[in-house]
Amino acid sequence: MNIAQIKQIDLVDYLRAIGFSPTKESAKSAWYRAPYREDRTPSFKVNKDKNLWYDFGTAQNGDIIDLAELLYKSKDVSRLLKLIENAAPALAPRVRTPISPNGERLTDQFRNVKVVDLNHEALKSYLQSRGIDLNIGECECKEVHYACYKKEYFAVAFPNIAGGYEIRNPYFKGCIAPKDISIIRKADRLKRDCCCLFEGFMDYLSYLTLVKLGRITEGSETPDYIILNSVGNISRGIEPIKKYEVIHCYLDNDDAGRRVVDTLQELLGSKVQDMFAAYPLYKDLNDFLRNKKKI
């Protein structure tokens, strides 16, 4: 990879690949103990939007190459490029596009979109790295190939009711328009007794995996499933949600998720059930599946 490509490698992914995990993380930033010096109080911050870092302890800052200079104690750029690539060979440059308020990357530059059955080993490996049962992933998801800014990419794709797709791979989170909610009805029945509500499709896949593992128990009748594909889509979900007698809310265990539950309870009353008690120490169902507790 050349300098431009190396600079597109996501700093958080790179630090994770070389053994450094954040002590605190949000949609826009991640905090670490500085990886190149003794740092008792985490003072090294990565700005995810800009893919730049700043060390509050030393007032140093820069991109991935500036970080590599400190990590590898060298100013030989050619050597640094090789060291970065060798240290994290699985990482690929990330397409950096505008980010919505909820952290999703937005673009209207998708071209030559082709949707096929999920078959690529790298995407299967990605789902397995998230703890998802592979049979469930293959059944529920598709594989999408597309061009963006004259480069070819591929990702796991999950359809919504408007014909668009939520797409994910280890380096990218986005949507192929149109954006909308997803509804999965597992049984052909007129009466809508129960549905489970999720924020994103990875939570939905995690739920199905947890049920298969026996870590979450469903009732005797399989519910329907509604995936918002962003808490910002809650207004789109009200009409289909209110048709159910019971709504189990498996949303993110954070302020945004709780606000959605509060809103639904105000509108629909006691039939909206908060399911946070199933994973009180975890940010979401996927973290619960992987036993990744909140710090």
| Structural domain contains residue 95 | no
Residues 165, 205 within the same domain? no
- Residue 15 corresponds to which tokens in the numbers above? 């630090």
- For 250, the domain range is 182-289
Number of domains in the chain: 3
User: Could you tell me what percent of the chain has a pLDDT over 70?
Assistant: 89
Q: What integer pLDDT is reported at residue 106 of this predicted model?
A: 43
How confident is the model over 141-167, as pLDDT tens digits?
999 998 876 778 899 999 999 999 999
> What is the domain-level CATH number for residue 57?
3.90.580.10
pLDDT of residue 220: 66
Amino acid at 288: F
Q: Mark whether 66 and 126 lie in a shared domain.
A: no
Q: Tell me whether residue 166 is in a domain.
A: yes
Which domain-ending residue is among 176, 204, 222?
176
Query: For residue 45, is it within any domain?
Result: yes
What is the pLDDT, as a whole number, of residue 274?
94
Fill in the amino acid letter for 262: D
pLDDT on residue 70: 94
Measuring CA to CA, how many Å separate 28 from each of 1, 206, 277?
A: 26, 24, 27
Residue the block writes with tokens 């949303």: 251
CA distance 195 to 18: 42
151 and 193 in one domain? no
Low-confidence ranges of the chain (pLDDT < 50): 95-107
Instruction: Give the end of a domain, one of 127, 145, 176.
Output: 176
Residue 216 lies in a domain: yes
pLDDT of residue 27: 83
Q: Would 170 be classed as within a structural domain?
A: yes
268 and 199 in a single domain? The answer is yes
Q: Do 172 and 228 belong together in one domain?
A: no
Sequence-distant (≥ 6) Cβ neighbours of residue 138 within 8 angstroms: 117, 118, 124
Does 81 reside within a domain?
yes
| Separation between Cα atoms, residue 279 and residue 236, nearest integer Å | 26
Residue % of the chain over a pLDDT of 90: 57
pTM of the predicted model as reported, rounded to 2 decimal places: 0.65
CATH code, domain carrying 228? 3.40.1360.10
The verdict on 165 and 243 lying in the same domain is no
Contacts of 259-268 spanning 24+ positions with Cβ under 8 A: 259/231, 260/199, 260/228, 260/231, 260/234, 263/234, 264/197, 264/234, 267/238, 267/242, 268/241, 268/242
148: in domain: yes
The per-residue pLDDT of the chain, averaged, comes to: 87
Whether 99 is in a domain gets the answer no
pLDDT at 146: 87
Question: What secondary structure letter does DSSP report for 168?
Answer: E
End-of-domain residue from the set 159, 176, 193: 176
Residues 229 and 255 in one domain: yes
